[in-house]
Amino acid sequence: MIVACWSGPRNISTALMRAWSSRKDTFVVDEPFYAHFLKKTKNNHPMREKIIKHYLSDYNQVVEYLTRDIPHKKTIWYQKHMAHHIMDFNTINWIKECENCILIRHPKEVIHSYAAKNNLRSVKELGYPQQFRIIEFLKKTNQRYKVIDSADLLKNPQEVLSDWCQSININFDKSMLHWDKGNHQNDGIWWHHWYDNVINTSGFQKYREKDITIENKFDSIYNEAMEYYNYFKDIK
């Protein structure tokens, strides 16, 4: 079974990858289209050249890798994806073979976290429009999918993960609630820049609502992101 989680940046997606990697039956991969995305967009992300040199950057080669037999004879392949790494939505037929999940987070929290790490110029950098395109494709092709809000996950991880596992006909494993601190073997090499919070955790952190004020320059991005977020919440 392939479990594909389509997230945006700063969405608790690495903690969720940690949860799945804690299962003995699961192999995980971390943002396999990142090198492809960087090569195509020429975005000046931290470690850009190192990432392109280290990983497959041809889209078709990545898809071939992701759809072959599960490595190490595991029975579940958890794939952590950034939705905005998909550049052409006419080439995603392969996701019909996956159990797909859309991981969302409130735009105020995402923008606040992302802008502290990188320049933010468009809502497309946050993955909301691309998540919408993925959902539209799954609906059009009559594929089931799951929408999970990161706030719900942090408030009650066992309930959310158990419900997700049940929806795709696998057993929930309590090992998903805990993991070892530090970087993990299957983390992308970019963990040095992006994973400073999660490497200090050994489980999901308790959700705390934050008093966040978004800079005025992000108003248009925030408003557009909220339209997508409310849509996702309505179909959740």
- The percentage of residues in the chain with a pLDDT greater than 90, rounded to a whole number, is 84
- Tell me the residue range of the domain where 201 lies: 2-235
Helices 107-115 + 219-235 axis angle, to 10: 140
**Residue pLDDT, tens place only, 126-184:** 999 999 999 999 999 999 999 999 999 999 999 999 999 999 999 999 999 999 999 99
Lowest mean pLDDT of 3-12, 156-165, 168-177, 208-217, name the range: 208-217
Task: Report how many domains make up the chain.
Answer: 1
- The β-bridge partners of 100 are 4, 145
Domain of residue 79, CATH code: 3.40.50.300
**Mean pLDDT value across residues 104-124:** 92
Alpha carbon distance 131, 102 (integer Å):
7
pLDDT band at 211 (very low <50, low <70, confident <90, very high): confident
Straight-line distance from the first to the last Cα atom of the chain, in angstroms, rounded to the nearest whole number: 23
Instruction: Tell me which residue of 43, 116, 47, 46 sits closest to 85, measured CA to CA.
Output: 43
Query: Cα–Cα–Cα angle for 110, 188, 73, nearest 5°?
Result: 120
* Backbone φ and ψ of 158, nearest 5°: -65, -45
User: How far lies 94's CA from each of 64, 65, 99, 140, in Å?
Assistant: 9, 11, 11, 14
Residue of higher predicted confidence among 119 and 165:
165
